[in-house]
Amino acid sequence: MDDVNAIRSGEYRPTDDKESAYAKITAFFAKSREYNCFYAWFDSGCIDQKNDAELAESIPAMYKWYQNANVCIVRLAGAVVGSNISDDEWFRRGWTLQELIAPTHLKIYDVFWKPVTIDRYDIIREADWTTQGNISGPLARSLKPENPPEPSHVTREILNATGIDSISLSRFPPSAGRAPLVISWMAHRQTTQPEDRAYCIIGLLALYIQVPLERGEAFEKAFFPRPNVCVCLHEGAGPFGMDRDPIGV
């Protein structure tokens, strides 16, 4: 955040240890302009990590920010075009799950900022050509193919790497009732802080609340209990209500 403010003021002086980060930021801005974006947002530079109040407000809103973005640009730091992109750590990080699921359009680049496909977008949500752009009713239905197209090689790699099913990848309405599914996607993902494994899925569960930033494992236990504990969830009264038949995971 401090570096971004310095860049904005013209006072930034890149050093050897910051040169790669500076190059990544400027390349990201350049790619954003290719998609006619007037504003570009990235979490490490647009959220003040030292400000707990800002973090508490931003974390629950991040899913919506990704969802409403014109395009989500992904750079795979450990992949090059032609390699198996699913080996990149981006597919094993907790915070990147909502980057994959939420945006209407997603474009993936390799470490050298080369696109992994020649397509303008690598993932286009179904909502983009039905519910958005005021397209609805018979017209929207006429645009839907009778049989969904075969997934591209990139999509197949993503499905294999993440364990996410093709339907959820193409359309995923956030819901607390989908908690068992979302938690299963998080099973092999990692975060720096243990509690972030819970924070990073708040948007996927449609829990748009201002969270208290509690450090340690306490908050994580609410979402990721020990293997011998049954978590009961359903689409009834509230995210963890139990007044109807629960789903055990």
Q: Does residue 56 fall inside a structural domain?
A: yes
Top-confidence range, 40-49, 59-68, 227-236: 59-68
Q: Does residue 235 fall inside a structural domain?
A: yes
- pLDDT greater at residue 229 or residue 188: 188
| Banded pLDDT at 223 (limits 50, 70, 90) | low
Range 90-102 average pLDDT? 95
Say what percent of the chain tops pLDDT 70: 65
Domain housing 88 = 47-248
- pLDDT greater at residue 164 or residue 232: 164
Q: Which neighbouring-strand residues pair with 73?
A: 107
Q: Does residue 17 fall inside a structural domain?
A: no
In sequence order, the 6+-apart residues with CB closer than 8 A to the CB of 37 are 70, 71
- pLDDT greater at residue 63 or residue 151: 63
Contact call for residues 163 and 185 (beta carbons, < 8 A):
yes
- Residue closest to 157 by CA, chosen among 204, 105, 87, 95: 87
User: What is the structure's pLDDT at 108?
Assistant: 96
pLDDT digits (tens, 9 = 90+) for 144-180: 444 555 667 888 999 999 999 988 998 898 988 898 9
Question: What count of other Cβ atoms lies within 10 Å of the Cβ of residue 220?
Answer: 18
Q: Does residue 36 fall inside a structural domain?
A: no
User: What is the structure's pLDDT at 106?
Assistant: 95
- Write out the two tokens for 156: 């197949």
Is the per-residue pLDDT at 49 higher than 70? yes
Strand pairing class (123-124; 105-109)? antiparallel
Distance between CA 68 and CA 132 in Å, rounded? 11
Q: Does residue 66 fall inside a structural domain?
A: yes
Question: What count of other Cβ atoms lies within 10 Å of the Cβ of residue 107?
Answer: 21
Contact call for residues 12 and 5 (beta carbons, < 8 A):
no
In sequence order, the 6+-apart residues with CB closer than 8 A to the CB of 145 are none
> What's the predicted TM-score (pTM) here?
0.74
DSSP string, 207-238: ---------SSHHHHHHS--TTS--EE-SSSS
pLDDT digits (tens, 9 = 90+) for 32-46: 999 999 899 988 778
Distance between CA 140 and CA 131 in Å, rounded? 8
Number of domains within the chain: 1
